[in-house]
Amino acid sequence: MRIAARALLALLAGALAVPAFAPVEWFPLAFLSLALLVGLLERAASVRGGFCIGFAWGLGAFGAGVSWLTIALSRYGGVFLPVAVGLIFLFCAFLALYPALAGAFYVRWRRGGTLRRALLFAGLWVLAEWLRGTLLTGFPWLAMGYSQTPPSPLAGYFSLVGVYGVGGGLAFVAGLLGICAVAQNAGRWKIFTVLIVALFFGGWAFSRIQWVEPDGPPLAVSLVQPNIEQSLKWDPAYFFEALRINADLLRAARGDLIVLPEAALPTTFDTLPEDYLDQLTRFISERNGALVTGVFTRDDKRHYNAAVTLGEGSGQGYAKTHLVPFGEYSPPLFDWFYRLANIPMSNQSPGEANQPPLELFGRKIAVNICYEDIFGAELIYSLPQAGLMLNLSNLAWYGDSFAQPQHLQIARARAMETGRPMLRSTNTGMTALVLPDGSVPAVQPAFTRGVLEVEVSAFKGLTPYARWGDVPALILALVAVVVAVRVGRRGTLLREKT
């Protein structure tokens, strides 16, 4: 089979991975997608061929999986649609470099038996995904481990080794399947089926371990979803209507803690109408409640994407630390991008690192804003102090797309990793409560205006992931690569001598 045909199959295999994620969540497709990739890599005759196959797989996965980024640029950012498509294609091509490098190194170092090759692929895959989530501020969206939220048998490993470790387990199983399929050896199938079943059983067993426990009585929380169209949000003619919508939803809320989403009040906090701010403060104080609202703040010439509190625990706040390149700030040498796009409040500054949790009603709540919750290793800095996590988001930028359910699935992974409930208040969806076992007992339907009323307890205790972060997964990945390369090379040398 020629390299072009293999690359086309790899492209389709990459696209096949996308339904493994939300909203479809056919998690077995993730195993099939990576198994097909491994099978194609097994047939690659050169490192260049391995790079091309991995690159094509990445183009298929990211092109199908994050195509919704085009909506933000074209519909709301004012970029001419063909230009927006071209820019997102280049971005997906950049992301595809990581599986391409994994494929190239796999072909370069593959040797030895099935087990060693599967370990090599799994180790390389973990390292590639970790690099993608770290370098140049990182973009770990669609890390393969996210596809394995419950009911996947690998979900029990989130609390141990996080999303990258779960992705490594997935890659190991897919490696065994892909290599055995190419070898067509029935004896190997029997042996490795037992190994795969044992891995799945381990995930089930770990999911039964209670690493954390509730801490104190439940707190009544009202999660507000204003459902304001992004094209109207920053329209000056719609400003007072947006304020009215949020105020009406606050009056309808019944919880002790009321939460408005990211940038719910479309201005800076210091420029809000004074009578409107007094109205909110009086309403919250009269009911002895607390309000956390997303709003921009400023300090001299710097703007922050922030959350502030009113009522109980007033005066506290949080400023987003991990900003979105091109959406919230311009990386060096990319000022030209903002001559193409019209993105409000795109000159933001990052908040200070390791900000303390909010203290409300005797509970400590760690806030993260929008896509900050895709960086699991950053969220654990607030533990064990924080008993709850709160995410404020505005995904209206991406319309009715996969972005919302994919983001909710990411929150499920974060809850399992940290052993903390994740409260989500979003503009258009998906506003929800996520429990530490990854379940979602309450969710506000997307693109509806309303208040989601939930009761949730804070949790105490630490999962292994909360203690050590990504370190165990990275160590296991490095060990797998070193063992596979060194043992495989030694076996090759012994055969050459004999």
The kind and range of the H/E element at 222 are: strand 213-225
467's CB contacts (< 8 A; 6+ apart) are none
Does residue 364 have an active-site annotation?
Answer: no
Half-sphere exposure of 248 (CA within 13 A, CB side): 11
Residues 422 and 491 in one domain: no
Residues 125 and 141 in one domain: yes
Look up residue 450 and give its two tokens: 């309303």
**pLDDT given for residue 344 in this prediction:** 73
pTM: 0.94
**pLDDT given for residue 498 in this prediction:** 36
Q: Beta strands of 372-495 (E only): which ranges? A: 388-393, 422-426, 432-434, 442-443, 450-460
Residue whose token pair is 């779960």: 166
Residue whose token pair is 């190194």: 105
Distance CA 277, CA 256 (A): 19
Look up residue 307 and give its two tokens: 């959350």
Q: Are 6 and 44 in contact (CB under 8 A)?
A: yes
How many domains, in total, are found in the chain? 2
* Closest to 51 (Cα-Cα) out of 105, 1, 5: 105
**pLDDT given for residue 182 in this prediction:** 87
Encoded amino acid at 80, one letter: F
Distance CA 337, CA 334 (A): 6
Distances (CA, A) of 7 to 55, 67, 241: 8, 20, 52
Residues 257 and 372 in one domain: yes
Residue-wise pLDDT for 290-310, tens only, equals 999 999 999 888 899 999 999
**pLDDT given for residue 331 in this prediction:** 74
Distance CA 308, CA 305 (A): 10
φ, ψ dihedrals at 304, nearest 5°: -130, 140
Residues 202 and 224 in one domain: no
Helix (H, G, I), strand (E, B) or coil at 224: strand
CATH code for the domain of 380 = 3.60.110.10
Q: Which domain holds residue 76?
A: 3-210+469-497
Does residue 229 have an active-site annotation?
Answer: no
Among residues 42, 92, 320, 417, the one annotated as catalytic is 320
Residues 176 and 267 in one domain: no
| Helix-, strand-, coil-residue percentages of the chain, each rounded to 5 | 55, 15, 30
Residues 246 and 171 in one domain: no
Distances (CA, A) of 319 to 258, 298, 330, 336, 416: 19, 10, 18, 27, 25
Residues 49 and 107 in one domain: yes
Instruction: Kindly give the parts of the chain with pLDDT less than 70.
Output: 1, 185-187, 333-341, 345-346, 488-498
**pLDDT given for residue 112 in this prediction:** 84
188's CB contacts (< 8 A; 6+ apart) are 114, 180
Residue whose token pair is 């709540």: 365
Residues 419 and 448 in one domain: yes
Residue-wise pLDDT for 216-267, tens only, equals 999 999 999 999 999 898 899 999 999 999 999 999 999 999 999 999 999 9
The angle formed by the CA atoms of residues 16, 19 and 24, to the nearest 5 degrees, is: 165
Residues 292 and 409 in one domain: yes
Q: Are 261 and 394 in contact (CB under 8 A)?
A: yes
**pLDDT given for residue 337 in this prediction:** 66
Does residue 460 have an active-site annotation?
Answer: no
Residues 194 and 291 in one domain: no
Residues 155 and 245 in one domain: no
Rg (CA), the chain: 24
Residue whose token pair is 């194609």: 40
Among residues 42, 129, 262, 417, the one annotated as catalytic is 262
Strand partners, 2: none
Question: DSSP alpha helices (H): ranges in 328-388?
Answer: 337-340, 376-379
Q: Are 164 and 126 in contact (CB under 8 A)?
A: yes
Distance CA 221, CA 223 (A): 6
Residues 157 and 187 in one domain: yes
